[in-house]
């Protein structure tokens, strides 16, 4: 199994720069690259990565996507003077040439291909290439929007040719504003789904207003991108990584804070057996860009994912866009076959366009002055924000209890710790659990207590323990965590949960995944019974995790996640592994897993998911039946007002404007 994260950076790509005054192009500066690299150095991330040198992309490689005419024009600029460069640049929309531009653009292409090679050859698990000029706006026969050669498109064609990869699924979210925002292309709207055999493989999610935040981007992943990606089952994921959506960016004018990129990266790492190539595109607020790049690389390295901030409720406009994308793609995707989707024509943001059209020029000038002042404010905000979310990492990533025999079946990086003895347990619990369990039974939970205690004290990030009774262990773990001072503890219990805790104070949220309805307690805001039996032919649990469990969990924002597997479990190893891997994005990756079943393969798979070093196999994708889709929809309808990340259509009811 490949390990390590590649980082590609070549200082020569900073020599591409604007030689004259151009208010449109002056934000695409060399410091975008150099300051991002310095930020990585300041977090000591550069030395943790595997350095991979850039190389020039060959003409043949560039011609995989671009025309010979375009290549020759770019090549001819190497010997031009400033006036000639300026004249050629005016032939394109928002692009500038420098004598070094052609060389830098070839390095950017080559860096992307080097990264693909390193990942596909198994030299590294994943990686990031810091490149410029960026590439995503460039066309077959023209430079456009700061971009000369389309680095990611070339990388995709190269991967198909060299490694025999088959089809491509393309997903893009972008500022659109009903075609009012540059480049104002009709084919960037939600109904541009691809042509011919490619229908359904071109996914556009247009943002029709500015100010989109963390919850909007997460909702797009939960309700569009991730279910499509899991059904598509890619062999490689290439990210055209634009950070224009970051807070303070003058182009995107969105409000995503840097940690959301850690969460999005974490989700993408669960695809393609972890083969993930991130290639820099946009991002024009230097501080916001640098911090966001660092969050991406930290996650690629396997660091705990920081707690997400902001209200967990997508805005009305975001949900409208999500609903239209789902409706447009329903004919092409099995996961959407039984979903109740319909197109929305009267969008809430249409009225904003009328106001914008009636605004006078002086208002626009004042807006520019405000933006300049905001740059300073955003820098100050980010300084404090990053200190608040980047907490010290526990010295041990993943812990388990056991003897030397256990060491042979747990994956690398799992550290074994000694169980608590009678004296230690008594000192810890002090009779607090007398109403739950007799003393002699409590003492059998030494394995569970030592792992949980180390997680609560932040000596360990996450861990796994075997228990004679998972229900008892889960009940004790929940109460012990609340007693320790945690305000929100999520428990996902797989199997028959004989002991259901009191969740009325909101300090615990329990999701019980079981084959049959649990008669002891009806579902309420903080206790949810999800009746589900995994399909025998493959994994159909994706729809439940992505369509319900993950949105509820992100809405709740737990300080700790407890995952317990008890008797009569209705999920196989692949479904449980999927659950653990995706929930590791919450609570700073603090997960306590307690397993009643001592099946070695189950323990191994959960431990691998906790370590995060390798993506566990999730099994063959099976689309959910109509009955199961209706079951998820009924739960979504029941709980969407409490857990607002469940909202994926306008009729669901929205609270945030």
Residues classed as catalytic: 137
Q: 473 burial class (0-12, 13-18, 19+ CB within 10 angstroms)? A: buried
Q: 509: cis peptide before it, omega within 30°?
A: no
What 451-455 contacts at long range (C-beta under 8 Å, 24+ apart), as own/partner pairs, is: 451/399, 451/400, 451/401, 451/417, 451/592, 452/477, 452/480, 452/481, 452/592, 453/420, 453/428, 454/396, 454/399, 454/417, 455/560, 455/590, 455/592
Order of strands, sheet of 396-401, starting from the edge strand that comes earlier in the sequence: 414-417, 396-401, 460-466, 591-595, 560-565, 489-494, 508-514, 527-531
Do residues 239 and 268 make contact, with C-beta atoms less than 8 angstroms apart? yes
Strand ranges for 141-260 from DSSP E: 170-175, 202-207, 237-241
Radius of gyration of the chain (CA): 26
Q: What is the 3-state secondary structure (H, E, C) of 466-514?
A: ECCCHHHHHHHHHHHHHHHCCCCEEEEEECCCCCCCCCCCCCEEEEEEE
Residues 292, 261: contact at Cβ < 8 Å?
yes
Q: With contact defined as beta carbons under 8 Å apart, do 592 and 463 qualify? A: yes
70 touches 26 (CB < 8 A): no
Dist. CA 368–CA 374, nearest whole Å? 10
Q: Tell me if residue 149 falls in helix, strand or coil.
A: coil
Helix locations, 548-597, DSSP H: 550-556, 573-583
d(CA 629, CA 455): 36
Over the range 503-529, which residues count as b (16 or more CB within 10 Å of their CB) and which as e?
beeebbbbbbbbeeebeeeebeebbbb
Residues 615, 582: Cα–Cα separation, whole Å:
10
Which helix H or strand E contains 325, and what residues bound it?
helix 316-329
Do 560 and 597 touch, CB atoms closer than 8 A?
no
How many whole angstroms separate alpha carbon 569 and alpha carbon 497? 10
CA distance 540 to 189: 30
| Residue that the structure tokens 């009903």 belong to | 178
Q: Please, what's the b/e burial string for 78-96 (b: 16 or more CB within 10 A of its CB; e: otherwise)?
A: eebeeeebeebbeebebbb
Helix residue spans in 132-258 (DSSP H): 151-163, 214-220, 226-232
Whole-number Cα distances in Å, 122 to 59, 156, 358:
26, 17, 56
Q: How far is CA 578 from the centre of its chain?
A: 14
């Amino acid at each position: 199994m490949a390990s390590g994260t590649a980082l590609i950076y070549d200082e020569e790509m900073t020599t591409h720069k604007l030689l004259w005054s151009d208010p449109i192009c002056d934000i695409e500066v060399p410091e975008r690259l150099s300051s991002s690299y310095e930020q990585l150095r300041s977090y000591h991330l550069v030395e943790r990565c595997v350095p991979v040198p850039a190389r020039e992309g060959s003409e043949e490689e560039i011609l995989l996507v671009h025309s010979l005419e375009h290549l020759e024009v770019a090549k001819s600029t190497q010997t031009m003077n400033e006036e000639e460069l300026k004249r050629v640049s005016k032939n394109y929309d928002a692009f500038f040439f420098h004598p070094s531009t052609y060389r830098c653009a070839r390095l950017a292409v080559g860096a992307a291909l080097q990264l693909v090679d390193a990942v596909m050859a198994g030299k590294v698990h994943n990686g990031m290439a810091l490149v410029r000029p960026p590439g995503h706006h460039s066309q077959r026969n023209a430079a456009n929007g700061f971009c000369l050669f389309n680095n990611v498109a070339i990388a995709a064609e190269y991967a198909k040719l060299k490694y025999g990869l088959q089809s491509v699924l393309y997903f893009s979210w972008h500022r659109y504003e009903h075609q009012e925002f540059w480049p104002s292309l009709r084919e960037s709207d939600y109904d541009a789904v691809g042509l011919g055999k490619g229908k359904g493989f071109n996914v556009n999610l247009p943002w029709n207003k500015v100010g989109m935040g963390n919850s909007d981007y997460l909702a797009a992943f939960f309700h569009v991108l991730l279910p499509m990606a899991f059904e598509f089952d890619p062999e490689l994921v290439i990210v055209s990584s634009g950070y224009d959506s970051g807070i303070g960016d003058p182009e995107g004018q969105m409000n995503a804070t840097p940690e959301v990129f850690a969460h999005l990266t974490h989700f993408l790492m669960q695809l393609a057996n972890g083969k993930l190539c991130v290639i820099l595109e946009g991002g024009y607020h230097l501080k916001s860009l640098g911090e966001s790049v660092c969050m991406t690389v930290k996650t690629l390295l396997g660091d705990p994912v920081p707690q997400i901030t902001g209200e967990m409720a997508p805005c009305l406009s975001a949900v409208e866009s999500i609903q239209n994308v789902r409706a447009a793609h329903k004919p092409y995707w099995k996961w959407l076959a039984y979903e109740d989707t319909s197109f929305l024509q009267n969008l809430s943001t249409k009225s904003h366009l009328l106001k914008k059209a009636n605004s006078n020029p002086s208002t626009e000038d004042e807006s520019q002055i405000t933006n300049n002042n905001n740059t300073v404010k955003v820098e100050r905000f980010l300084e404090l924000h990053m200190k608040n979310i980047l907490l010290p990492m526990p010295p041990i990533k993943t812990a388990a209890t056991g003897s030397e025999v256990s060491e042979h079946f747990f994956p690398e990086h799992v550290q074994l710790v000694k169980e608590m003895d009678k004296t230690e347990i008594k000192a810890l619990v002090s009779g607090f659990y007398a109403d739950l369990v007799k003393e002699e039974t409590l003492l059998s939970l030494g394995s569970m207590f030592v792992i949980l205690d180390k997680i609560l004290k932040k000596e360990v990030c996450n861990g796994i323990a075997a228990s004679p009774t998972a229900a008892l262990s889960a009940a004790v773990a929940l109460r012990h965590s609340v007693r320790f001072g945690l305000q929100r503890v999520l428990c996902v219990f797989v199997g028959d949960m004989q002991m259901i805790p009191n969740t009325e104070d909101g300090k615990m949220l329990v999701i019980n995944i079981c084959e049959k309805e649990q008669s002891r307690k009806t579902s309420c805001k903080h206790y949810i019974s999800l009746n589900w039996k995994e399909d025998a032919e493959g994994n159909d649990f994706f729809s439940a995790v992505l369509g319900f469990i993950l949105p509820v969990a992100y809405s709740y924002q737990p300080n700790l996640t407890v995952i317990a597997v008890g008797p009569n479990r209705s999920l196989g190893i692949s479904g449980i592994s999927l659950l653990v891997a995706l929930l590791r994005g919450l609570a700073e990756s603090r997960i306590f897993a307690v397993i009643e079943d001592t099946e070695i393969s189950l323990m191994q798979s959960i431990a691998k998911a906790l370590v995060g070093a390798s993506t566990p196999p999730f099994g063959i994708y099976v689309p959910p039946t109509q009955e199961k889709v209706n079951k998820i929809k009924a739960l979504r309808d029941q709980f969407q007002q409490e857990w607002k990340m469940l909202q994926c259509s306008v009729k669901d009811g929205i609270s945030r404007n």
